[in-house]
Chains A and B, each alone.
Chain A
Amino acid sequence: MKQRVYYGALALLVLLGCLPFLDSSYALRIGTFACMYAIMSVSWTVIGGFTGYPSFATAAFFGLGAYCGGVLINKGWPLFAAAGAAGVVAFAGALALGLVLLRLRGHYFAIASLAVAEVLRELTNTATELTGGGMGLNIPVSVTGSSSVMGEASFFFWAMWALLLLTFIVVRLIQESKLGFGLVCIKQNESAADMIGVNATIYKSLAFAFSGVFVAMAGALYAAWVHYIEPPDVFDVLFAVKPIVMALLGGLGSPAGALLGAFAFLGIEEAVWRNYLQIHSGVLGLLVVVLLLFLPDGMMSISKRLSQLGGRRG
């Protein structure tokens, strides 16, 4: 069952890679956003799903990555080097921060992780010389070398798509690894995990770092893609909450679920966005409320219930 969902999601992902052949700039834009959000929700699964720590730090990682990437590209770094550097900075930062923050649990951890984004945003706002502050940061350099609009759109789609593929595979490998097993033990009973030899502090920090590294790289790609970023845009609290909703939609704790949840969520959001621009965020809120009240285990719970009806052993 689990395996089937994984390979199904993987197949869908590969299929998505053919999107540029549709030759539609609208589809490419949506596709790029879908990949970006899926990177966030799949990454979040590592800390929120496997480990059970309610992290709201995704916005912090994304903004950090966007600004790292933007600043480095403006200094003349090639795109992929800048994205890689953003990933390294986020990984190291999350690892260090995690050693301290992950001593907190529940609401306290949630708030602290939320506060990280606030602090980073304000720091970015005030570090005017480096980041342009509240005026935002222009990234005028064309990193693709492609002169056509479609060429550039395809390039960024494929870059984001490839990063998603990488994220998905790495997160899946983590799930199957000793690290992933340890994280699940921590989620279920942290003191018992400690007693059997799991170094919970290091494991949790690694989970936090893995939940940030690809998001930061996505942020760097985003910065290069849109050519202009500003603090309230990239440190938006919605970047912290949407991945969680997507993961919840897909059924907590499964990277494949988070991937499908991201696509489903974005599909719904896009439909709402196009039809009800003014009440877009209200409808989004309604969606969240309905999801939490009536589908607590996400879309997976539907198929689970069906398979339970099918036979006892499910």
Chain B
Amino acid sequence: MLILQILLNAIVLGSLYACIAAGFSLVWGVLNVINLMHGSFIVLGSYLAWGAYKALGVAPWTSLLIAAPVFFILGYGIQRGVLNRVIAAPVLVTLTLTFGLDLILNNAMLVAFKADYRQLVLDPSLGSLSVGSLVVPVDRIVAMIFSLLLTLALFFVLRRSRVGRAIVAVRMDRDAARLMGVDVPSIYATAFGLGTAMAGCAGVLLAMIFPISPIASGSYLGKAFVVCVLGGLGSVPGAVVGGLFLAIVESFGSLVLGPENAVTLSFGLLIVFLIVRPQGLLGKRGFE
């Protein structure tokens, strides 16, 4: 029964990991930019949910409706205004640039909210669901369902919508897409906006479960990295598979090796995957 309970927890966690990583993976795959701000965007989303609930009594799932457009615009603007100027520069430059931007954003949050942890406590509590001896808090189930829905939504945007097809075309062959009349800079900005919106929404959902602090951004970013590499770069199904895989490995790894080794395990897995299977569980080999 313990095994089943752990598996259940891992699936809930894995769905959230998928949501964390999907936007990160999109930006990496399409723009070939590793966005080190991703973790801070997530935390900012959590603060948004916390503030909306505390001040206005807006439930987190309703906050998603605000978070998605707000973060989309934020991301779109950052890509257009800043990142786009160095988009053709070597890896080192784009990576360091997003690091600098992250320092600014994270510092701003530290000043605004202080480093101590805040918690969004739903009142009344949603209680928990139990089947046999398995117990899951309902807020976790809600978070899981919404993160899967969001990930699915991103998948369908990329699959079905005009702009989504353009994003995929740019990912596959930028120059060919340009020749076919795709406005590449605007697609880049849209993709970055979508990635940022996913981060913000993930943050909203995570606020229901985890304490909120600017300090948490690094660990969210780390999860996004690992999930992305495990699942395969730039693909939404890859993020889902990678997220679930990571959560399961972490959960059972903690059981066997002790919880203090979970992070080592996931980063060890990251290095092994980079070397042995850089294309991830699904998907094709990325750029370089």
Q: Are the CB atoms of A241 and B99 closer together than 8 Å?
A: yes
Q: Are the CB atoms of B99 and A288 closer together than 8 Å?
A: yes
The answer, yes or no, to whether A173 is at the interface (CB within 8 Å) is no
6 additional A-B pairs beyond A54-B92, A115-B225, beta carbons within 8 Å, are: A112-B271, A122-B261, A123-B264, A126-B261, A293-B82, A293-B85
The answer, yes or no, to whether A278 is at the interface (CB within 8 Å) is yes
The answer, yes or no, to whether A296 is at the interface (CB within 8 Å) is yes
A246 to chain B, nearest CB (A): 11
Q: List 16 A-B contacts (CB under 8 A).
A: A100-B275, A107-B288, A108-B286, A111-B34, A115-B225, A126-B260, A245-B96, A281-B103, A281-B110, A284-B103, A285-B101, A285-B104, A286-B100, A288-B100, A289-B97, A293-B82
The answer, yes or no, to whether A237 is at the interface (CB within 8 Å) is yes
The answer, yes or no, to whether B186 is at the interface (CB within 8 Å) is no
Which residues of B have CB within 8 Å of A296? 86, 89, 93
Q: Are the CB atoms of B270 and A122 closer together than 8 Å?
A: no
Q: Are the CB atoms of A111 and B270 closer together than 8 Å?
A: yes
Q: Are the CB atoms of B100 and A48 closer together than 8 Å?
A: no
A11 to chain B, nearest CB (A): 29
Q: Are the CB atoms of B274 and A279 closer together than 8 Å?
A: no
Kindly identify, within residues 225 to 274 of chain A, every residue whose CB is under 8 Å from any CB belonging to chain B: 237, 241, 244-245, 248
Report the Cα distance A16→B211, complex, angstroms: 48
Q: Are the CB atoms of A119 and B268 closer together than 8 Å?
A: yes
Q: Are the CB atoms of B263 and A122 closer together than 8 Å?
A: yes
Report the Cα distance A292→B34, complex, angstroms: 16
Q: Are the CB atoms of B91 and A115 closer together than 8 Å?
A: no
- Which of A54, A245, A286, A292 sits near B104, CB closer than 8 Å? A286
Q: Are the CB atoms of B100 and A107 closer together than 8 Å?
A: no
Also in contact, A101 and B275, with CB within 8 A (given A126-B261, A286-B100): yes
The answer, yes or no, to whether A29 is at the interface (CB within 8 Å) is no
Report the Cα distance A282→B103, complex, angstroms: 5
Q: Are the CB atoms of A118 and B267 closer together than 8 Å?
A: yes
Which residues of A have CB within 8 Å of B103? 281-282, 284-285, 288
Nearest chain A residue, comparing its CB with the CB of B109: A282
The answer, yes or no, to whether B172 is at the interface (CB within 8 Å) is no
Q: What band does the interface of chain A fall in when counting residues whose beta carbon is under 8 Å from B?
A: 35 or more
Nearest chain B residue, comparing its CB with the CB of A100: B275
The answer, yes or no, to whether A9 is at the interface (CB within 8 Å) is no
Q: Are the CB atoms of B96 and A248 closer together than 8 Å?
A: yes
Give A residues with C-beta under 8 Å from B.
Answer: 48, 52, 54, 100-101, 103-108, 110-112, 115-116, 118-119, 122-123, 125-126, 237, 241, 244-245, 248, 278-282, 284-289, 292-293, 296
Which residues of A have CB within 8 Å of B100? 245, 284-289, 292
Nearest chain B residue, comparing its CB with the CB of A252: B92
Number of A-B contacts (CB under 8 A): 125
Which residues of B have CB within 8 Å of A286? 100, 104
Report the Cα distance A107→B86, complex, angstroms: 16
Kindly identify, within residues 104 to 139 of chain B, every residue whose CB is under 8 Å from any CB belonging to chain A: 104-108, 110-111
Nearest chain B residue, comparing its CB with the CB of A116: B271
The answer, yes or no, to whether B95 is at the interface (CB within 8 Å) is yes
The answer, yes or no, to whether B28 is at the interface (CB within 8 Å) is yes
The answer, yes or no, to whether B32 is at the interface (CB within 8 Å) is yes
Also in contact, A108 and B92, with CB within 8 A (given A284-B103, A288-B99, A292-B97): no
Also in contact, A112 and B260, with CB within 8 A (given A118-B222, A288-B96, A292-B86): no
Nearest chain A residue, comparing its CB with the CB of B261: A126
Report the Cα distance A216→B263, complex, angstroms: 23
- Which of A48, A107, A126 sits near B264, CB closer than 8 Å? A126
Best-buried of B28, B97, B258 by chain A (most CB within 10 Å): B97
Report the Cα distance A110→B99, complex, angstroms: 13
- Which of A111, A237, A288 sits near B97, CB closer than 8 Å? A288
The answer, yes or no, to whether B218 is at the interface (CB within 8 Å) is yes
Q: Are the CB atoms of B278 and A244 closer together than 8 Å?
A: no
Q: Are the CB atoms of A107 and B34 closer together than 8 Å?
A: yes
Which residues of A have CB within 8 Å of B28? 107
Report the Cα distance A286→B97, complex, angstroms: 10
Report the Cα distance A282→B109, complex, angstroms: 10
Which residues of B have CB within 8 Å of A108? 274, 278, 286, 288
Which residues of B have CB within 8 Å of A123? 264
B288 to chain A, nearest CB (A): 4
B102 to chain A, nearest CB (A): 7
Which residues of B have CB within 8 Å of A245? 96, 100
Q: Are the CB atoms of A110 and B264 closer together than 8 Å?
A: no
Q: Are the CB atoms of A119 and B271 closer together than 8 Å?
A: yes
Also in contact, A104 and B278, with CB within 8 A (given A115-B271, A286-B104): yes
Q: Are the CB atoms of A282 and B108 closer together than 8 Å?
A: yes
Report the Cα distance A284→B106, complex, angstroms: 12
Nearest chain A residue, comparing its CB with the CB of B226: A115
Report the Cα distance A155→B96, complex, angstroms: 35
Q: Are the CB atoms of B91 and A289 closer together than 8 Å?
A: no
Q: Are the CB atoms of B264 and A119 closer together than 8 Å?
A: yes
Which residues of A have CB within 8 Å of B85? 293
Interface string of B244-279 (1 = CB under 8 A from A): 000000000000001011011001101100110010
